[in-house]
Chains A and B, each alone.
Chain A
């Protein structure tokens, strides 16, 4: 039996016979999933409140990776200072973009919104080339997370382990913000009836700006975290934005928990898929998307769109 499996897929045979290998694949899935979750959560949050699908989210991620390179590698600041700087830089960029551009298109049709965000992709993509050139940079791991951690059954890279922990922490923080703070409740109310919210004296445009800043800062932060293994390079945003779309569509657009589950599923399908069938690793993620779209077109944790809109 095992021989048959080995013939069909050597990788699957190793997974079945070597628990240590399988465990490492599991951790790889989680760490990749969590890195993607941090970024995709921003995309999902922005869509949930602003109802704009921001294609430029991937470019924001790329900028985050470049900024951490500049601050950490070129200026010699600690890695985490660089990662925070990435989040802050994208927050500032987001504030400017929201106030000057996005504000014009909330009432416009989706095609116009798409064109605008795509224009931002092109402009910022070229801007990145002007600032950082076209070479691929290498970003070191932070000194404290360079080695591997002994988990009993196996050693595992400390940096990737950190990703497995920071993802759920960000989930908890975002959940706390959304459910336990007045700001979170206002944001939720803004998704339900922004006109009524304004009539109650709340400055809804300010909520929109702050959500866009937070979502974009997550892209920047996620880009910084990805920088040590994805090495900043022009075009790195193209794959990432597609991965994020798969995740938020699988999880359900606008659902935080759905994005978390979607990111984990993506990590699992991608990593185990590439072990089992190395020639077609991308196929599995799209199969996941296809299956979810066929069964629940609104995503695992999304809500079916009410008619009439």
Chain B
């Protein structure tokens, strides 16, 4: 059974419909990428899974349990973490406080995330636990927002455009850290525009256009077929 089953979800913001029947499965331990230009529905797909914008129809099952319609905090507690594109660090809280408020015990039988383990993955954060979130650099914020989600010990992480706005060197860092997360057993759904980032990490890729999945395949298949990239991804 897939860990996450998204089946034919339709989602709107008020009168403007963004998703027109997205269907995808995610197996435990995979990195699945959602790819496409701006505005095709990658973020909305994540918000629908997370319960931040509820789908008007369709179903979302996490580990066999229907979660469409639950409140975001309930979905989070079931084991889904969300790392938003805008990072959304609490600016008046320090780095440590940002981590601490997201703290939740790990499910039995899993190695728990705490400050120490998070600092091992993101050594930069260890140096600045008392710095307010509002004054961090873009790279530090990106690390903190991932670290913060990890403190809740999710089994599935929704990672929205982690490379956006970061210097190439920092993008490489984040990429390697995401790889380490996958190796730790975490399932990841990744929305990205950076093709190198996607091809390096993804087990499966779904290409979105106008709120629908237009192409699905492995990272290798995408790499092999230049025409797909041209059709759906180049501006």
Contact = CB atoms under 8 A, between A and B. Distances in A.
A188 B90 contact: yes
A204 B101 CA distance: 12
Contacts of B104: 201
Tell me what chain A mostly uses at the interface: helix, strand, loop, or mixed: helix
Interface string A180-201: 0010011011001101111111
A202 interface: yes
Interface string B96-119: 010011101000000000000000
A203 interface: yes
Interface-central residue, B50, B72, B92, B148, by most chain A CB under 10 Å: B72
A203 B76 CA distance: 10
Contact of B71 (A188, A189, A193, A198): A198
Given A188-B90, A196-B84, A201 B152 contact: yes
A204 B52 CA distance: 13
Contact of A202 (B91, B101, B149): B101
Contacts of A199: 50, 52, 72-73, 76, 82, 84
Interface residues of A, number: 17
B166 interface: no
Contact of A200 (B71, B92, B97, B149): B149
Contact of B73 (A182, A193, A202): A202
B136 interface: no
Contacts of A188: 90, 92-93
Contacts of B65: none
Interface in B51-85: 52, 71-73, 76-77, 82, 84
A193 B90 contact: yes
A207 B152 CA distance: 18
A201 B90 contact: no
Contacts of A204: 73
B102 A200 contact: yes
A23 B90 CA distance: 45
Nearest to B154: A201
B187 to A, nearest CB: 17
Given A185-B93, A189-B93, A198 B101 contact: no
Contacts of A196: 84, 88, 90
A192 B71 CA distance: 19
A189 B84 CA distance: 16
A196 B72 CA distance: 9
Contacts of A186: 101
19 contacts: A182-B101, A185-B93, A185-B100, A193-B88, A195-B52, A196-B88, A197-B101, A198-B72, A198-B76, A200-B73, A200-B76, A200-B102, A200-B148, A200-B149, A201-B73, A201-B76, A202-B73, A202-B101, A203-B73
- Name the 7 nearest CB pairs between A and B, nearest first: A201-B76, A198-B72, A196-B88, A200-B102, A199-B82, A189-B90, A198-B73
